[in-house]
Structure 1
Amino acid sequence: MSDSGPTALVGDSLVQGGDWQAWLPEETIYNFGVGGDTTDDVIARLGDVISARPAIVVLLIGTNDLAWRRSVEHVVRNVETILVTIRRELPDTRILVESVLPRGHEFAEQLRDINRHLWQFAPTVHAQWLDLWPALALDDGELNPAYSEDRLHLNEAGYRAWVDELAPALERLRQLPPSSRAITLPDLG
């Protein structure tokens, strides 16, 4: 798969902590995960991702914003900004937006709200959506305790469950036709 270009994984410590190259050996992985990052931080370093010119961008960001008491609207607006910027700067890049992962059940309502908005927005920038909640969450929205010791970060079993969802999603994404470019109108002024 890597012959059609590298895959950039963008996000926070959940992305940073993954051994993605070992788990996705057919992919050439650029890991742009940074521990503690919020959506504001990803916006600030988006130039690094764009400069890498990946064939695919996989985005998972937003849980740390809640720890900083940022609103659902703040997270959604920032993720939308990230996606619009990637689409504008990398029009041929395929984008996969992953749902913000479950954590403690006290965050479930906010996370579901964020994910609902992102699921609705993703198609407007020709991005695909991967909902990780069916694989990782309990019915009450709690991160399955089998996948985490601290109700936030994933253990080996949690990453395995994630990769089991991500690998086929990447395969499907590579099989899609390229996104159509925006039409640029001539400046008649």
Structure 2
Amino acid sequence: MQPSAQSKPLIIALATLGKCALALAVFTTIFGGWQWVMARQPLPGASQREGACVLWFVGSSTMSRWTSLQDDMRPWVGQNRGIGGATMQEINLHIAHDQASKPPQAIVYYAGENDLAFGHTVDQTIADLREFLAIKSRLFGSTPVFIISLKPSPTRWDRLAQQGQYNATAKAIADQRPDVDYVDIVPALLQGGRPGPFFMEDGLHLNEEGYRRWKIAVHEALDEAMPRNVLRRCHPEALLDRS
């Protein structure tokens, strides 16, 4: 039986809709599969250089945009493993699938600023921090982690109270764990109680002077907290201030 002239447009429309639905299903399957695979890749910046003085710098764009990191962190071997725009959950997913044959000497960690800005609560953000530390312990044992406090970015000044709560809890975690240290970067980036001229025009990312202050704070924390035998091998000059 042939379709009537009146039903032909409907049949054509349904056939077209069916093709579109099939195409969308195929695209979703492929794209979703690609996202699943990419999310389970190790952190970027995996290096062939493994040794007693290697440090991993893990975190969001403040880490990934630190282009002078290797020079700034000498004599340590700084390995940039940051992900621009990342949340803590994304970082956790990546590091959980890391394939490094040897752990670094320490991990310097900065994340959470994006999470709070994207609407996550302080409790959620702290839970993700604890999850990161749990993954670290499972994969890399007692490797030290240096948690850098959330920076007082001008663009996110309205999140200052939440950042303060996160920072206080992160410090409390560090005080309770021998494998965690806390690096308070906030005072170095403020002038008169407001963000100083240490940020890019976007009011979010650090400029050259901001990274210089960041570098000093991280070096001081490493020099103070790393074991003497490690400093003797990697940064002997730091022992002069501890003798």
Percent identity among equivalent residues?
24
SS in structure 2 of the partner of residue 57 of structure 1: strand
Question: What's the CA shift string for 1:48-75, capped at 9, x where partnerless?
Answer: 5572511101111011112211111111
SS in structure 1 of the partner of residue 81 of structure 2: strand
Cα offset, 1:161, TM superposition:
0.9
In structure 2, C-alpha distance between the alignment counterparts of 1:50 and 1:75, rounded to whole Å: 25
Cα offset, 1:106, TM superposition:
0.9
The answer to whether the 8 Å contact 1:55/1:92 transfers is no
Q: Does 1:157 align with 2:209?
A: yes
Which 5+ residue runs of structure 1 have no aligned equivalent?
179-189
In structure 1, C-alpha distance between the alignment counterparts of 2:124 and 2:170, rounded to whole Å: 12
Residue identity opposite 2:83 in structure 1: V
Alpha-carbon distance change, 151 to 124 in structure 1, aligned in 2, over 3 angstroms? same
SS in structure 2 of the partner of residue 149 of structure 1: coil
In structure 1, C-alpha distance between the alignment counterparts of 2:130 and 2:146, rounded to whole Å: 13
Residue identity opposite 2:60 in structure 1: D
Cα offset, 1:77, TM superposition:
0.7
In structure 1, C-alpha distance between the alignment counterparts of 2:88 and 2:126, rounded to whole Å: 9
Find the counterpart in structure 2 of residue 167 from structure 1. Answer: 219
Find the counterpart in structure 2 of residue 29 from structure 1. Answer: 78
Residue identity opposite 1:134 in structure 2: P
Q: Does 1:75 align with 2:128?
A: no
2:184 pairs with one of 131, 135, 141:
131
Residue identity opposite 2:172 in structure 1: Q
1:103 pairs with one of 132, 153, 164:
153
What pairs with 1:29-108 in structure 2 (closer than 5 Å)?
A: 29-47=78-96, 51=100, 53-104=103-154, 105-108=157-160
The answer to whether the 8 Å contact 1:21/1:29 transfers is yes
Alpha-carbon distance change, 101 to 72 in structure 1, aligned in 2, over 3 angstroms? same
Find the counterpart in structure 1 of residue 62 from structure 2. Answer: 14
- TM-score norm. by structure 1 comes to 0.84
Q: How many residues align?
A: 176
Cα offset, 1:6, TM superposition:
0.9
Question: What's the CA shift string for 1:19-76, capped at 9, x where partnerless?
Answer: 2101112011221111000111111111355725111011110111122111111111
Find the counterpart in structure 1 of residue 197 from structure 2. Answer: 145
Find the counterpart in structure 1 of residue 16 from structure 2. Answer: none
Alpha-carbon distance change, 176 to 38 in structure 1, aligned in 2, over 3 angstroms? farther
Alpha-carbon distance change, 63 to 23 in structure 1, aligned in 2, over 3 angstroms? same
Question: What's the CA shift string for 1:107-144, capped at 9, x where partnerless?
Answer: 1111001101111112333211110011013454x432
Cα offset, 1:79, TM superposition:
0.7
Cα offset, 1:15, TM superposition:
0.4
SS in structure 2 of the partner of residue 29 of structure 1: strand
In structure 1, C-alpha distance between the alignment counterparts of 2:133 and 2:60, rounded to whole Å: 16
